[in-house]
Amino acid sequence: MNSQNDRTVAGEVEDRLKDLFGESVESPAIAGESDSPEEDSPIRKLKSTILSIDWEISDDLLDKLIKEIGILENTYKDDKNLLVFFQLLGSVGKYVKSTKANAHPGAIRLLNSVYNSLEIVILSEGITTAEKRKILHVQVEQFKKLKEQIALRKAEMAKKKEVIPSEIKPAIEEKEEDVVVQVEPEVITEKLPPDISRMTPQETVAYVLAEVKQLIRAEFKALREELKL
Amino acid sequence: MSFINFKKKEVQVKIVYYGPGRGGKTTNLEYIFSNFKNRIKTELVAIKTQGDRTLFFDFLPFDIGKIKGYDVKVQLYTVPGQVKYDATRELVLRGVDGVVFVADSMEARRQQNLQSLKNLQDNLAIHKKSIFKIPLVLQYNKRDLAEQDIPLLSVETLEKSLNSKLKVPFFEASAVEGTNVVQTLKKIISMTMASVENQLT
């Protein structure tokens, strides 16, 4: 490392870096990406949005996710398996939107996992309906697992609440927490039956919608009563 | 200060990726590792929290080969971006030779970028280093989000708010897609090696 060889040192550094990070490695990867089937796929925007949510949980991105799911539900309205995928994504998205940074860490992972499976189902040529169902089943199971974890978390939080004397509890915080913690996890999965995977997608959708309505009604009723107190 | 072993003819340089939380520092290292692991032949060490955020730092060491008979080893570090981890950032900056400041191009992150750059200046000062003298490259990350209609700061605005006084090289980048990740790295290594050489003469 002698100063007399300034140019040579800079040149040698350049050569070493060229060897190590030369374009020969990177270019094919970039070319491969641009040629990938999802580039022109209707789910391209969904992928970008989910990747963005992985970086940043914001209302804008989650609204975009829900909007994008709505568009895709319309595009693939005849494919019952895909509709269940979108329903899973929508439910997790709504849960994350309501809880934001307090969302269970598994929710974002599930969002990515459901999307990856959806991508396989949509982009794989020659995939059979049975294979699609198998992939979907795995995601539904993950969804159920997340529901259990959220319920457990909720129970733990409720226990902690009981320990705090009621006179000390700040009323506003309590109400906010109730809305965030109680309503949304329930919306996701609370009462999905263990044999949901055996239902047809239409039955699943109908069942979940009915459950959601019922739960929201119950929660609002409970909130109203609490507010009266 | 870089570590130089004259007996073994070995030089070690430390480069730190700095910037606001969720800006893409770890994604830079992950991209480098995943695309060049066959060549760099080392492992990326990452310590995450439950929510996949960097808790302490990520570490990616690799050799770049011989320069004027010296084996040059580069160590890449990231720091946790969140404000509360300032002590860790200060610690990771100890002995730093070059810095990549990964700015978040999202409009909503303008203030966080400024705070983080100021924090870098303060933490370098603790180690008696000047932000104006240390090899520094700015990376304006997440440019790909423009395609999703997410409001981004223009490069002119980023230049004005972050680089008007520093006047250091900058790259528009997308760490998640790998755009200009390698170019940023090559630039900071070249600048750092030139700086190390100057310090020796």
Count of C-beta atoms within a 10 Å radius of residue B90: 16
Residues near B190 by beta carbon (within 8 Å), at least 6 away in sequence: A10, A13, A14, A17
B65–A19: do the CB atoms touch at under 8 Å? Answer: yes
| pLDDT at res. A225 | 72
CA pair distance A43, B47, nearest whole angstrom: 32
| pLDDT at res. A31 | 32
Residues of B in contact with A61 (CB under 8 A): 150
CA pair distance B1, B166, nearest whole angstrom: 21
CA dihedral sign, ordered A56, A57, A63, A65: positive
Pairing of strands B45-48, B98-104: unpaired
| pLDDT at res. B115 | 93
Angle at CA of residue B50, ends A64 and B29, nearest 5°: 75
CA pair distance A28, A99, nearest whole angstrom: 41
| Chain A touched by B185 (CB under 8 Å) | yes
| Chain B touched by A51 (CB under 8 Å) | yes
Phi, psi of A83, deg, nearest 5: -60, -35
> Over the stretch B90-141, which tens digit does the pLDDT of each residue have?
888 999 999 999 999 999 999 999 999 999 999 999 999 999 999 999 999 9
> Over the stretch B8-26, which tens digit does the pLDDT of each residue have?
888 999 999 999 988 999 8
In a domain, B199, yes or no: no
Positions of E strands within B21-147: 45-48, 54-67, 70-78, 98-104, 136-141
In a domain, B201, yes or no: no
- CA dihedral angle for residue B188, residue B191, residue B195, residue B197, rounded to 10 degrees: 110
Which residues span the domain enclosing B44?
3-193
List the single residue in A with minimal CA-CA distance to B146. A48
Distance of CA B174 to the CA centre of its chain: 14
| pLDDT at res. A163 | 59
In a domain, B11, yes or no: yes
Q: Are B191 and B161 in contact (CB under 8 A)?
A: no
| Chain A touched by B35 (CB under 8 Å) | yes
A16–B65: do the CB atoms touch at under 8 Å? Answer: yes
Pairing of strands B54-67, B70-78: antiparallel
Residue B163 carries which DSSP code?
S
> Over the stretch B63-101, which tens digit does the pLDDT of each residue have?
988 888 888 999 999 887 777 677 778 888 999 999 999
| Chain A touched by B118 (CB under 8 Å) | no
- Name the range with the highest mean pLDDT among A202-206, B55-59, B147-151: B147-151
A16–B72: do the CB atoms touch at under 8 Å? Answer: yes
C-alpha distances out from residue A38 to A34, A49, A83, A118, B171, Å = 9, 14, 18, 11, 27
In a domain, B102, yes or no: yes
Q: Could you tell me which of B188, B198, B196, B191 has the C-alpha nearest to residue B4?
A: B196
Q: What are the b/e assignments for A171-190, b being 16+ CB within 10 Å?
A: eeeeeeeeeebbbbbbbbbe
In a domain, B200, yes or no: no
In a domain, B198, yes or no: no
- Per residue of chain A (229 residues), what is the pLDDT tens digit? 544 455 567 788 888 888 888 754 443 333 333 344 545 567 877 887 887 777 667 788 888 888 889 989 988 888 888 899 999 999 998 888 888 777 888 888 888 889 888 988 888 878 888 888 889 999 999 899 998 888 888 888 777 766 554 444 444 343 434 333 333 433 444 344 445 556 666 777 777 777 777 777 877 777 777 666 5
CA pair distance A56, B150, nearest whole angstrom: 12
Q: What total number of domains does chain B contain? A: 1
In a domain, B71, yes or no: yes
Report the CATH number at residue B53. Answer: 3.40.50.300
| Chain B touched by A1 (CB under 8 Å) | yes
Chain A interface, best mutation among B2, B141, B193, by max A CB count within 10 A = B193
Q: Could you tell me which of B45, B16, B14, B19 has the C-alpha nearest to residue B141?
A: B19
List the single residue in B with minimal CA-CA distance to A104. B51
Identity of the residue in B35, B40, B67 whose CB atom sits nearest the CB atom of A26: B35
Identity of the residue in B51, B182, B194 whose CB atom sits nearest the CB atom of A26: B182
CA pair distance B79, B91, nearest whole angstrom: 9
ipTM of the complex: 0.75
Identity of the residue in B106, B145, B182 whose CB atom sits nearest the CB atom of A21: B182
B142–A8: do the CB atoms touch at under 8 Å? Answer: no
Name residue B139's beta-bridge partners: B102, B171
Identity of the residue in A26, A52, A105 whose CB atom sits nearest the CB atom of B148: A52
A56–B106: do the CB atoms touch at under 8 Å? Answer: yes
- DSSP codes, A89-153: HHHHHHHHHHHGGGS-HHHHHHHHHHHHHHHHHHH-TT--HHHHHHHHHHHHHHHHHHHHHHHHH
Identity of the residue in A1, A19, A21 whose CB atom sits nearest the CB atom of B70: A1
| Chain B touched by A25 (CB under 8 Å) | yes
Place of tokens 């999905």: A192
> Over the stretch B163-188, which tens digit does the pLDDT of each residue have?
999 999 999 999 999 999 999 999 99
In a domain, B120, yes or no: yes
Q: Could you tell me which of B76, B67, B73, B92 has the C-alpha nearest to residue B181?
A: B76
Give the distance between the most distant pair of CA atoms in chain A: 85
